[in-house]
Amino acid sequence: MRSIIKLCVLSFAVLFLAANASFAEKDSAATTDFGYEGIFNYSKLLFNQNDFQGSAIEAKRLLKDYPASPYGAKARYLFALSSLKAGKYSIAIKGFEKFLSEHGEHKHASLAEEKIKEATALLKEDFSGPKVPEGLKTVKVIAPDRLRAVQVSLFHGKTIDEIDSELKLLKNAGVDTVILRVFHNPGDRYHGIIKGRAESGVYFNTEHAPVIGDVLGSVAKLTKANGLKLFAWMTTKYADYGLENTASSSCVKYDLEKNGYAECRGLDLFSENSLEHLKGLYKDLARYEIDGILFQDDLVLKHTEGYGDSAGKLYFKEMGKRMDPDKMYIRIEGEKYVRYTPEFWEWSSWKNRRLLFVAKSLMETARKENPGIRFALNLMYESVVNPSQALAWLSQDLRGAVKVGFDYYSIMAYHRQMATELNKGHKEVLALIEEMAEEAQRRVGLSASVLMKIQTVDWETGEELSGREVAYLINTLKRRGVSIAVFPYRRLLPFDELALVNESMKETSGGR
């Protein structure tokens, strides 16, 4: 009997992975060598954008992770200079002194001595602390609810009554939020309560895409009846449903091997036609009685994506120069990797701003229909662990996202995946995830806005992780006071561990 149960469990997991491979998709063809050079160039980019605190953080990261790199002197000086510009005068003084002690013969040595004098004078002026202008009103930031969520690709139930029973169990266990998949990509499994026919489309009523069935409407009634919040989990770039063969709306990439342009998966997010298509979808989605929307992890542009006529015209308009792949990548004979030029980093940052503009436009559109609706943004773990990689490979930037302002920043802290990709042991990854939560809290400011997502299935093997393993991660993150979601939802998980009961609700605000 045990072998039969194990086989059934494994079969469900394999089917889940086959239907949702894109959820954990990484660009295996990203033939780029990163290391210290990438982090240093990213730190310089932040400095040039006047993000001095961010620049100092990245320079410090380089010094910590690559203590023997040839960029050591440059990084040490950049760290001190960024700290000075950020108003961290004591740190700047120590940084310049460290630079002089290690690199006294460097060409910037005399300049460092001058900067120490400058920082010392500014520190004396700053001793009394910042003065608060008279009449300045205190703005109260309304924190979002701390979530205890399950992210549902598929319910086990095949009928409304069976799904209702699942929701009752979740509610009784302490879960307060359901994040429901409302999109369908080719190859995905269909929600069990409808008989799907279209190869791709959505699970809500709209005139802007093929409708497979109104699953959202049915589940919205059930979650409300059971006292659960409901978030709709929706695509952006890959929401080309009904437009798959429209060349003017297709994503464009540069093929490094063939030295030419080619179509890539999904919509061209620089095209106004694509943006209007998405606005129509999100407007209809927001008309439902839902509490929020989770942007799927397809709101990214990989390191060779983001070309095409629409992107080229916009880049020239905003940046004053033409978008040229030959000015983005450095290829060295005999090496399998490409390296990035300073212009590549500017371009990646520009792409990130466009992605965030798209997200902001969709949020504004949705809030015209549903003013109280909340938004969560899916972010790869690199956005916290290695921001330079996140920007270069995916055009993701947590700092930029915080400036736009989402309600939740959904960090995909999938420990098994991270262990494989970062070549770390189990204990190392668990410690890293706790550090990630702390760092995300510091950057975001509100602990409840940090939504840490935990995997419950091993993406590579299809193995369902034990309840004990999942519970350990949940309890580790609960100590941080963050929001938590488990993905994918499946039965026999320790949902009671998600409950807010008996948790310390002390807000760790991260300084904001």
What's the pLDDT at 13? Answer: 46
Q: What is the mean pLDDT of each run of 10 residues along the chain (512 residues)?
A: 38 44 43 67 83 83 81 85 82 78 82 77 60 40 83 95 96 95 94 86 96 96 97 97 76 92 94 95 98 97 95 96 93 80 94 97 97 96 93 94 96 95 92 94 94 94 90 91 94 77 39 32
Orientation angle between helical segments 415-422 and 426-444, nearest 10 degrees: 110
CA distance 375 to 370: 12
Same fold, 37-125 and 147-498: no
The per-residue pLDDT for 421 is: 92
- Contact in structure between 42 and 345 (CB atoms under 8 Å): yes
Separation CA 256–CA 265 (nearest Å): 16
Quickly list H helices, 320-425. 342-369, 382-385, 387-394, 398-404, 415-422
What pLDDT, on a 0 to 100 scale, did the predictor assign at position 453?
97
- Residue 247 has a pLDDT of 61
Q: What is d(CA 206, CA 278) in angstroms, rounded to the nearest whole number?
A: 11
Query: What is the model's pLDDT at position 142?
Result: 63
Cα–chain-centroid distance for residue 385?
A: 11
Residue located via tokens 């996202």:
401
Rounded Cα distance between 410 and 144, Å, is: 13
Residues 341 and 37: their CA atoms lie apart, in Å, by 10
Please name the residues in contact with 460: beta carbons below 8 A apart, sequence gap of 6 or more: 416, 420
Phi, psi (deg, nearest 5) at residue 423:
55, 50
Top CATH class, 37-125:
mainly alpha
Q: How far is CA 458 from CA 152, 306, 333, 413, 441, in A?
A: 16, 31, 38, 13, 27
- What's the token pair of residue 318? 């905003």
d(CA 162, CA 164): 5
Give CA separation, 276 vs 141, 350, 394, in Å.
32, 21, 23
pLDDT of the residue at 5: 34
Report in angstroms the alpha-carbon separations of 196 from 155, 157, 191, 209, 229. 15, 16, 8, 14, 26
Which element (helix H / strand E) includes 338?
A: strand 338-340
* CA–CA distances in Å: residue 155 to residues 167, 181, 191: 10, 10, 7
Judged on CB neighbours under 10 Å (0-12, 13-18, 19+), 256 is middle
Question: How many CB atoms neighbour CB 142 within 10 A?
Answer: 5
Q: What is the CA radius of gyration of the chain?
A: 24
3-state secondary structure of 438: helix
Instruction: Indicate the SS3 state at residue 492.
Output: coil
Instruction: State the pLDDT at residue 332.
Output: 78
Separation CA 169–CA 176 (nearest Å): 11
Which structure tokens are listed for 5?
């149960």
| Ranges of each domain in the chain | 37-125, 147-498
Predicted local confidence at residue 220, as pLDDT: 97
Tokens of 174: 């302490």
Cis peptide before 488 (omega within 30 of 0): yes
- Fold of the domain spanning 147-498: TIM Barrel (3.20.20)
Give pLDDT, residue 18: 41
How far apart CA 165 and CA 222 sit, in angstroms, is 10
DSSP H helical ranges for 414-497: 415-422, 426-444, 467-478
